[in-house]
Amino acid sequence: MQGLIDFLKRNAVTLVLFGAVLGFVAYQKVPVYMANKKALERPPAAFQANSLEGQSFSLESLRGKFVVISFWATWCMPCRAEIPILNSIYDELHDEGLVILGITAEEEAVVQGFLKDRPISYPVVIDDLGRITNRYGIQAYPTLVMIDRDGNMVDRATGLDVLLKWKIRNRVTGSFF
């Protein structure tokens, strides 16, 4: 018992700082997690949008495909890290029914400038006035929404997920590899 007390005395500042950081992380993450969990209880919001290349997309037209909607921004560092992951899985599974839409509420000129240096292989949609973003209740970037082939929202996550590629592959093919 005396050893524990001595340990606590020697490491009190470290333990308080660790507790404060842990509390801050929980304070930041828990509301977003709860919002994402609650969003899964509702059907995905219908939308109609055109990609920068002129392709027309609607939730109804994508039925029968596995859809990943990536809400992102050019200034978002986790979004920038996520783009190569999404490019890779899109190139790999596009022929198996995977559709990825990158939706941003930024101006087209800003996005076009960004895409010159960082190409995106999946369709990018400019969300004028943030209508789609608001319908999906996006609170932070990146947020990914996954919609199965029957049109049901099966996953929604905010933040960079290092296992994203395997999660999408498993949803589309039934295998992690």
- Position 68 pLDDT exceeds 60: yes
- Position 38 pLDDT exceeds 90: no
- Position 58 pLDDT exceeds 90: yes
Q: Kindly report the three-state secondary structure assignment for every residue of the chain.
A: CHHHHHHHHHCHHHHHHHHHHHHHHHHHHHHHHHHHHHHCCCCCCCCEEEECCCCEEECHHHCCCEEEEEECCCCCHHHHHHHHHHHHHHHHHHHHCEEEEEEECCCHHHHHHHHHHCCCCCCEEECHHHHHHHHCCCCCCCEEEEECCCCCEEEEEECCCCCHHHHHHHHHHCCCC
| Residue 16 pLDDT grade (very low, low, confident, very high; cuts 50, 70, 90) | confident
Determine how many CB atoms are found less than 10 A away from the CB of residue 105.
20
Per-residue pLDDT tens over the stretch 99-146: 999 999 999 999 999 999 999 999 999 998 899 999 999 989 999 999
Specify the pTM. 0.80
- Strand pairing class (66-71; 56-58): unpaired
Amino acid at 97: G
